[in-house]
Amino acid sequence: MKLTISMDLLEKMFYYVSPVKPVSTVPLIYATFLVDKDQLAYTTENEAKFARKIERSFKAAFHEVIEKNRAYGEMLDQDTLLSPQEHANQQGKLIDSIIVALQQYPELKLIRLELAGSWPLFQTEAGRLDLTE
C-alpha cells in the first residue's frame, strides 16, 4: 500500500493526506511511502496512518529535516528576497536532506517526493507578499 504525508516546514507539522493530496497556498512537500500492512494503523475516521513505532521513526527524521533547514524555513516564512539560483540551491539541499534523513530508517520506504503549493522561484521587491492586503 502507498501512504502519502504532507510536510509543512513553516508550521513544522506533517499530515497524512492519502489518497487525496490537497491543493495548498503554502510550500508543502509530499512524501509517498510503500507501507506493509503491519506498518499501518487507522484513525477513528478509518484513515490510514503509520503504526506508532513507524511514526516515531518518521517524526525523528522530520525533526532532523526541520533543524537542518531552519535557515531556509525562516527565509520562506519571512518572504526573504533570494535569487532564483539561491532558491534552487536551497530547495535542492532540502530535498537531499529529506532523502538522507529518511534513509536512516529502513522501515520508511520512500518512493516519491514532490514539492507542492507555493514555492518561490523568482521574486522582486514588488512581488513580496503583503499580508495586510
What residue segments make up the domains of the chain, in order of their start?
A: 2-122
Q: Which residue has the cell 516564512?
A: 77
Q: What pLDDT was estimated at residue 41?
A: 95
DSSP assigned state of 128: S
**Cα 3 to chain centroid, rounded:** 14
- The angle at the Cα of 113, spanning 107 to 115, to the nearest 5 degrees, equals 145
Q: What pLDDT was estimated at residue 122?
A: 77
Query: Using an 8 Å Cβ cutoff, are 129 and 79 in contact?
Result: yes
Nine-digit cell at 67?
533543524
Q: What pLDDT was estimated at residue 128?
A: 67
**Rounded CA separation 99/21 (Å):** 20
Closest C-alpha to 108, from 51, 37, 57 = 57
State which H helix or E strand residue 117 sits in: none
Helix spans in 5-131 (H): 52-68, 70-77, 84-103
Q: What pLDDT was estimated at residue 117?
A: 86
How long a stretch of residues is the chain? 133
pTM of this prediction exceeds 0.85? yes
Q: What pLDDT was estimated at residue 129?
A: 61
In order along the chain (133 residues), what is the average pLDDT of each group of 10 residues?
A: 94 89 86 95 92 97 97 90 91 96 97 90 71 50
Closest C-alpha to 97, from 67, 77, 118 = 67
